């Protein structure tokens, strides 16, 4: 996303673009596009810009409801009072920040969908991620399509600070008021909500957590941190191994390699990612931000609304689209990655590769201007999904205004707790240009943007990473689509028999959580069947345990009654 989508990154585009300009390019670049058949390896590396961090830190998802309130109207909107911090004792300072009658408290939103619920049945809880919770309610078909079978109560919880669940006022933009925006507080919110639900639905037999992307991370962490609260978790596309402190260490090139793999299996083999890399090589090596003639060529070629200030600005704009297209490489038309504003075609990466394979009959080789035009046409399926754009705002990786709404919030989370080393690109392993992860620059960015110091090991130390999954976790299904660039940062293998893995060969970003379609590949269908099987097992175990406790209570009561009668 994708959260987060949302998003994953985050900031004022003007400042972001300004940072990306400060260059890093060789001063001897030509003002004309080269026509040699083989480009030399890229040597120059751009200073990391906010746009790239916005794309990565953006964890994971950009999405909004595709169907206007089709499912929301079937549910009841509710609110629960939550402390501003579950891990402090409500100091005077916190009370002042909380404001209002609740002092150091505020309200978070959730939806209850009870049409299928019956006594002695489970609660399906969606652990909301970085967006308005209505988005997840409208798109999480796995919950809706199995609710009747399980007679389940569906609950969709909104993540604090996102959607309508913010403790900040509309004009409150100070970063100091975001200091309770983190996953630990969100999980504690969900635990409090479950307690309240258990009191109201006291005959519920189990609670199963669902989540995709950052929400999938939360679902898995919920089961691992609060195993007494949730009985199982479906964690789809959850990159919980994306943090420093893992053994083996996280690979900063993993995401870029994942996008490249999606391009490689989309109809033209290795030739597709090769042409994409050729386009980036041509784009970056043919001039720099001091070459005004070349920048004018780029403005015309990419149909930019405004002047281009650096080739890297165009490259990062195009890369952002390719990454999201890879994440959204679904078998059906979908607006999931576009906030419902327009749709990507079915198998969009195949469309990208077809565009890159178009040859200009007047060109003698693949390094002509036509290669850049092909790249423009390829990414236009993302940036002009509505078919209404007359020009492109280069430097802005958001396809529409809705996807920008929560970027600043996710940026804060990225810089505080969700700090992922993911900026290495280029070389033989992916289709982009050479750029290495630079933690020093990332730290500087976070201090400048949010006045916070990242804690790279926080997530691994707090949630346990591989050691927790291998040695202590239970009743979790980790699903990963091999077409999703995030899959290399997720749980792909385990020796723990209590953890189940679903590798989806033809699956994109938490494809398995979505509503089913006749066009779904067999691997997606099998993943959903596996997940339903595990949910059934968890519910049966919880139901059996409840029955045993009830029978034990009856036996104790009978024994006491007999003992009393004996001595009367």
pLDDT tens for 412-458 read: 999 999 999 988 898 788 999 999 999 999 999 999 999 999 999 99
Question: Mean pLDDT score of the chain, rounded to an integer?
Answer: 85
Q: How does pLDDT run across 244-289, given as a tens digit for each residue?
A: 999 999 999 999 999 999 999 999 999 999 999 999 999 999 999 9
User: What is the full DSSP assignment across 169-211?
Assistant: -TT---GGGGTT-SHHHHHHHHHHHHHHHHHHSTT--EEEEEE
pLDDT of residue 9: 38
Q: How confident is the model at residue 405 (pLDDT cuts 50, 70, 90)?
A: low
**Mean pLDDT computed over 291-300:** 96
pLDDT of residue 173: 55
Among all residues, which ones are annotated catalytic?
213, 484, 509
pLDDT of residue 460: 96
Q: Copy the structure tokens of residue 36.
A: 């040699």
d(CA 132, CA 129): 8
210, 127 contact by CB (below 8 A):
yes
Q: How confident is the model at residue 136 (pLDDT cuts 50, 70, 90)?
A: very high
Helix runs in 73-129, H state only: 92-98
480, 503 contact by CB (below 8 A):
yes
3-class SS letters over 106-119:
EEEEEEEECCCCCC
Q: What single DSSP character describes residue 485?
A: G
Low-confidence winner among 12-21, 418-427, 464-473 (lowest mean pLDDT)? 12-21
User: What is the full DSSP assignment across 25-61?
Assistant: --TT--SS----SSPPPP---PPP-HHHHHHHHBTT-
Low-confidence winner among 41-55, 67-81, 484-498 (lowest mean pLDDT)? 41-55
- Cis preceding-peptide flag for 248 (omega within 30 of 0): yes
Q: Residue 564 above 80 pLDDT?
A: no
pLDDT of residue 160: 97
Please state, for a pLDDT cut of 90, what percent of the chain lies above it.
71
Q: How does pLDDT run across 63-88, given as a tens digit for each residue?
A: 444 446 789 999 999 999 999 999 98
User: What is the full DSSP assignment across 67-103?
Assistant: STTTTGGGSEEEEEEEES-TTS---HHHHHHH-STTS
Q: How confident is the model at residue 102 (pLDDT cuts 50, 70, 90)?
A: very low
CA dist 433 to 192, 233, 274, 289, 319, Å?
A: 47, 38, 11, 17, 10
Please state, for a pLDDT cut of 70, what percent of the chain lies above it.
80
Give the residue with greater pLDDT, 530 vs 8: 530
Q: Residue 21 above 50 pLDDT?
A: no
375, 383 contact by CB (below 8 A):
no
pLDDT of residue 359: 82
59, 2 contact by CB (below 8 A):
yes
pTM: 0.86
261, 329 contact by CB (below 8 A):
no
Pairing of β 76-83 and β 122-127: unpaired
Q: Residue 353 above 60 pLDDT?
A: yes
Beta-bridge partners for 78: 110
* Residue tagged 């999480």 (tokens): 140
pLDDT of residue 548: 85
């Amino acid at each position: 996303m994708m959260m987060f989508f949302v998003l994953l990154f985050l900031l004022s585009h003007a400042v972001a673009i300004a940072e990306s300009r400060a260059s890093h390019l060789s001063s001897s670049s030509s003002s004309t596009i080269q026509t040699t058949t083989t480009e030399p390896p890229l040597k120059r590396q751009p200073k990391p810009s906010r746009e790239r961090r916005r794309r990565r830190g953006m964890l994971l998802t950009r999405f909004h409801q595709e169907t206007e309130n089709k499912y929301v109207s079937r549910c009841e909107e509710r609110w629960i009072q939550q402390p501003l911090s579950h891990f402090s004792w409500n100091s005077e300072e916190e009370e002042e920040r909380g404001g209002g009658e609740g002092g150091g408290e505020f309200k978070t939103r959730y939806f209850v969908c009870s049409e299928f619920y019956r006594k002695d049945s489970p609660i399906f809880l969606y652990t909301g991620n970085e967006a308005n919770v209505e988005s997840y309610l409208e798109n999480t078909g796995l919950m809706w399509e199995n609710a009747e079978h399980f007679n389940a109560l569906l609950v969709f919880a909104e993540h604090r600070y996102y959607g309508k669940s913010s403790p900040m006022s509309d004009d409150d933009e100070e970063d100091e008021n975001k200091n309770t925006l983190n996953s630990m507080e969100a999980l504690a919110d969900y635990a409090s909500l479950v307690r309240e639900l258990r009191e109201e639905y006291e005959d519920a037999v189990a609670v199963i957590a669902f989540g995709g992307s950052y929400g999938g991370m939360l679902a898995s962490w919920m089961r691992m941190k609060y195993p007494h609260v949730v009985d199982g978790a479906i964690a789809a596309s959850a990159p919980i191994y994306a943090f420093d402190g893992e053994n083996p260490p996280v690979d900063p090139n993993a995401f870029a390699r994942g996008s490249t793999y999606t391009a490689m299996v989309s109809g033209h083999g290795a030739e597709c990612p090769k042409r994409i890399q050729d386009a980036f090589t041509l784009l970056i090596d043919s001039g720099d931000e001091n070459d005004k003639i070349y920048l004018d060529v780029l403005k015309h070629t990419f149909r930019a609304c405004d002047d281009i200030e650096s080739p890297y600005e165009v490259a990062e704009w195009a890369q952002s689209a390719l990454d999201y297209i890879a994440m959204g490489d679904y078998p059906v038309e979908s607006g999931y990655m576009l906030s419902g504003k327009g749709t990507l075609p079915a198998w969009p990466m195949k469309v990208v590769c077809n565009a890159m394979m178009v040859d200009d009959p007047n060109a003698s080789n693949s390094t002509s201007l036509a290669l850049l035009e092909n790249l423009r046409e390829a990414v236009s399926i993302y940036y002009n999904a509505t078919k209404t754009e007359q020009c492109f705002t280069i430097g802005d990786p958001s396809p529409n205004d809705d996807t920008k709404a929560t970027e600043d919030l996710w940026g804060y989370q990225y810089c505080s707790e969700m700090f992922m080393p993911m900026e290495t690109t280029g070389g033989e392993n992916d289709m982009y240009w050479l750029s290495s992860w630079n933690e020093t620059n990332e730290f500087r960015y976070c201090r400048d943007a949010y006045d916070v110091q990242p804690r790279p090991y926080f997530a691994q130390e707090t949630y346990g990473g591989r050691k927790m999954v291998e040695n202590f976790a239970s009743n979790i299904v980790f699903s990963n689509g091999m077409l999703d660039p995030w899959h290399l940062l997720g749980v792909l293998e385990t020796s723990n028999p209590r953890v189940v893995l679903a590798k989806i060969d033809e699956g994109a970003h938490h494809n398995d959580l979505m509503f089913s379609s006749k066009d779904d590949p067999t691997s997606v269908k099998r993943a959903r069947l596996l997940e339903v099987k595990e949910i059934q097992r968890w519910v049966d175990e919880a139901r059996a345990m409840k029955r045993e406790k009830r029978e034990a209570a009856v036996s104790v009561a009978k024994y006491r009654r007999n003992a009393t009668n004996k001595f009367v």
